[in-house]
A and B are shown apart, each in its own frame.
Chain A
Amino acid sequence: MSLSLYIDYIILPILAVSSLLAFIRLFKGPTIVDRVIALDLLITIGVSIITAYSISTQQSTFMDVAMILALIAFLSTIAFSYYLEKKEQND
């Protein structure tokens, strides 16, 4: 079995199931901070899916997208926590 087939049939389905589970927490999460970390996990899983797919198709140009997504995930978590704290301080 070649590496490309192995990634297509075993690694990518595992990552897809993980993203479904993270979506469940994104819908269910009773507080807003649960949804914030579910979003962070989703974007990190997105980076992993892009990486696995890039190995499978042997094209390296997808990694630019992965880099930008990692930056966006970090900035969005910091922005959420800053504005939630400001809202709590003003109330």
Chain B
Amino acid sequence: MTDFIIAVLSTIGAVAILIAAIGIIRMPDFYLRLSVTVKAATLGSGLLLFGLAIFFPQVSVTTKALAIGFFLLLTAPVAAHMIGRTAYFIGTALWKGTIRDDLEGMYDKQNHRLRNGDQQAREEAAKEQLNKKQ
């Protein structure tokens, strides 16, 4: 019975990682690839580690597996956010089917701080862009 549960969990985990790998090849843009990779790979790894935690009867192994899963769950979104923010500053191109860029003009060029997104800030950013173009 335990073997069957572990087989099912590993299969779902391995298929999730396969979907992440297919997604990183097929997606047309960096930001889409980042999204697919981080979510699906974290899910697949977490399920496989959970299967290992069930399989071994010792407490030390279960703790180790759950600790790795917890660490991956905490740090994968943080790393993805940082690399996405850096890619936006470098000027990575968005996919040509993107309708509009919400973050345009909201970042300060010198110290890379984000203005808050209420209506006044948007109007100021739009005015600055018009002044720059003229």
Contacts and interface: CB of A to CB of B under 8 A. Distances in A.
Contacts of A3: 3, 6-7
B40 to A, nearest CB: 9
Query: Which label, helix, strand, loop or mixed, suits the secondary structure of the B interface?
Result: helix
Interface in B1-19: 3, 6-7, 10-11, 13-15, 17-18
A71 B21 CA distance: 21
Interface string B59-75: 01100110110011001
A17 B87 contact: no
Contacts of B6: 3, 55
A88 B38 CA distance: 25
Contacts, number: 149
A48 B13 contact: yes
Contacts of A17: 18, 21
Query: Which label, helix, strand, loop or mixed, suits the secondary structure of the A interface?
Result: helix
Contact of B24 (A10, A38, A60, A77): A38
B42 A37 contact: no
Interface in B26-59: 30, 33-34, 37-38, 41-42, 44-45, 48-49, 51-52, 55-56, 58
A36 B64 CA distance: 27
Contacts of A70: 68, 71-72, 75
Interface residues of B, number: 53
B89 interface: yes
A25 B83 contact: no
B67 A67 contact: yes
A40 B15 contact: no
A41 B20 contact: yes
13 contacts: A6-B7, A21-B22, A33-B87, A36-B83, A40-B37, A45-B17, A55-B6, A60-B64, A63-B52, A63-B61, A67-B67, A85-B85, A85-B112
Interface of B: 3, 6-7, 10-11, 13-15, 17-18, 20-22, 24-25, 30, 33-34, 37-38, 41-42, 44-45, 48-49, 51-52, 55-56, 58, 60-61, 64-65, 67-68, 71-72, 75-76, 78-80, 82-83, 85-87, 89-90, 92, 112
